[in-house]
A and B are shown apart, each in its own frame.
Chain A
């Protein structure tokens, strides 16, 4: 198969000491980011992005994606040992992971978490390897109307399928799209929404916004809480690892189910958080003994971790194949691609084979190396939490500022970061979701260009979005998803009318 050959080529690209070293550095930084309170996957990647500006794109993406894997691994450590989820997607891991630690089975729980993380991402990477090239070559036939309908689909599914209030999702998305439009209009060259400020001519940089929204606001939110913590410190011995692995085949149904859920939710913009809860709940529902969940059952660690990682990894599939990120972190990696002068989307598979397959190969290798690193170094990472937050918080602030400044060498961006920090803090507290904002900001100008190019091609006729079966079905699907809550309710009512007594 062609994919195998290309994948081996990808491994060949990776097998240099420099790349392997960068991979290790990325993984270790990532686990740090995952363990520390007030730093998460998205802002960890955003803050460390400037480090990669002077690297070649392949090394840069390898390092950044490894930070991402590391953050995924790291979230589990604090969940299990301290009952503090380092990341939102590891909340479900605390349900059974922390009770296990309390019973003195911390090592077992950690091994289970890391192993299932590995399995989840592995399944998703295999999916990417075989599906992404196909989707990309299919998408090569897309014209502007098709691309716009795919963007529309992404935005509509956020509104229709998200669990937040609909008007809040719309606010977040519209604001993101609007801010993406600030500055020079790419089609006509007209200035808009700059109000005469020369600093706004450059537009509002996506990464600056992300650093503020996720980095600074997270620090403000963390300070609000009680920062005291008590936890277990655990080293993992080889004996425990082997005994957990020996039992793995018993839980294959849970692992497969969670992987499937994760892959599906990762590709659609649902995200790792939803996937981890769904994986946990389904494992509980299908279990013969649902009451034992929440009291330290190893399956309760396997299920959410597998799903979260499958989803976090699968989120990269639409990013690589279509240029549409499936998660916040994927959106930031996409922002990185643009900084290095690569144009995300299906053409990537044709024009930058080395880059794409190097990245995919690094997902395999990064996960294996990551598993080994976390299994061997857990005690070191757990002890990071001994460092008082008063020392960590200002360091994170400085790192954020360095990251924000380095993107465009502009002092204005540091101020912008601070503003976004306050906005992010308020939005999070009143429940306006930030993920749609991030996605809209990164996709905004491309969505607008696609819309205007299709309008120019069709001479202003909106029917272009239904002009052939492909674009027509994507656009229709977008509207179905947008009104999904209403459609779902209608179905429910119709079913009750047909079978009134079936409850």
Chain B
């Protein structure tokens, strides 16, 4: 049998360490999520009660179906909340470690900024900034590679969607200056 030779190797130098301290336990996240869901269920139940959850002469009112669904949602979340509270804190798993949270934020924050920039600068400029910025600052890839990739990708998207398929994206001052 031939010796298997590894041909594709990709390294991840700043991968999260397994020794990284936990930031939040699963139990506490569970409790927070269930509380939020109970709040949402109560809010929706109230709104549907206001819309009308009873029976009109021609059948159930608009709020009937969603009202009982919010009751179900509330009930199931309450069950989850109680069982999470009753579970022992000792057997708690880790929800996210500090290293993991750092990495997640490395994507989440740029994505958030990208959404904001899309609103002001248009989608294409924002996507150029996101790709170039993410590649060079988070991925530590050479700046010229990052800029080139971002430009090629953004232009390819523009040609595919706005020109070839007529799917119009939000645009900003740059596109306006170029006459699109």
Contacts and interface: CB of A to CB of B under 8 A. Distances in A.
Contacts of A167: 76-77, 79-80, 83
A487 interface: no
B138 interface: yes
16 contacts: A51-B165, A102-B4, A104-B3, A171-B73, A192-B62, A192-B63, A195-B47, A225-B16, A227-B12, A232-B6, A388-B10, A390-B141, A391-B131, A397-B110, A399-B157, A452-B64
B152 to A, nearest CB: 11
B51 A452 contact: no
A427 B80 CA distance: 13
Nearest to A453: B59
B8 A168 contact: no
A197 B70 CA distance: 20
A297 B165 CA distance: 47
Contacts of A397: 107, 110-111, 114, 130
B135 A391 contact: yes
Interface in B146-180: 149, 153-154, 157, 160-161, 165-170
Interface in A292-321: none
A394 interface: yes
Interface residues of A, number: 82
Contact of A223 (B77, B106, B168): B106
Contacts of B30: 430
B72 A174 contact: yes
B85 interface: no
Nearest to B11: A228
Main secondary structure of the interface of A (DSSP, over half): helix
Contacts of B165: 50-51, 53-54
Interface of A: 50-51, 53-54, 81-82, 101-106, 165, 167-168, 170-171, 174-175, 177-178, 181, 185, 187-188, 190-193, 195, 216, 219-220, 223-233, 382-383, 385-386, 388-391, 393-395, 397-399, 401-402, 405-406, 409, 411, 414-415, 418, 421-422, 425-427, 429-430, 432, 448, 451-453, 455-456, 460
Interface in B118-143: 118-119, 123, 127, 130-131, 134-135, 138-141
Contacts of A398: 114, 123, 127, 130-131, 153-154, 157
Contacts of A190: 51-52, 61-62
Contacts of A388: 10, 135, 139, 141
Contacts of A414: 115, 118
A430 B33 contact: yes
Given A171-B37, A193-B66, A385-B8, A228 B15 contact: yes
Given A104-B4, A406-B169, A219 B107 contact: yes
B44 to A, nearest CB: 6
A382 to B, nearest CB: 6
Interface of B: 1-12, 15-16, 26, 29-30, 33, 37, 44, 47-48, 51-52, 55, 58-66, 69-70, 72-73, 76-77, 79-80, 83, 95-96, 100, 103-104, 106-108, 110-112, 114-115, 118-119, 123, 127, 130-131, 134-135, 138-141, 149, 153-154, 157, 160-161, 165-170
Contacts of B52: 190
Given A103-B4, A398-B157, A391 B44 contact: no
B127 A223 contact: no
A425 B140 CA distance: 25
A418 B112 contact: yes
A359 B134 CA distance: 40
Given A51-B165, A193-B48, A405-B169, A233 B66 contact: no
Contacts of B161: 50-51, 402, 406
Given A50-B167, A220-B104, A448-B65, A233 B7 contact: yes
Nearest to A100: B4
Nearest to A222: B107
Contacts of B65: 177, 181, 448, 451-452
A223 B10 contact: no
A316 B85 CA distance: 41
Contact of A426 (B33, B58, B118, B134): B33
A456 B59 contact: yes
Contact of B134 (A170, A174, A390): A390
B104 A192 contact: no
A266 to B, nearest CB: 27
Contact of B55 (A230, A421, A460): A460
A290 to B, nearest CB: 23
Contact of A394 (B61, B80, B130): B130
Nearest to A414: B115
Given A106-B4, A192-B63, A227-B10, 6 more contacts: A177-B69, A224-B104, A383-B8, A394-B130, A402-B161, A418-B115
A105 B2 CA distance: 8
B131 A386 contact: no
B130 A193 contact: no
Given A175-B73, A228-B12, A402 B169 contact: yes
- 8 A-B pairs with least C-beta separation: A390-B139, A104-B2, A233-B7, A228-B12, A456-B59, A226-B15, A190-B62, A174-B73
B151 to A, nearest CB: 13
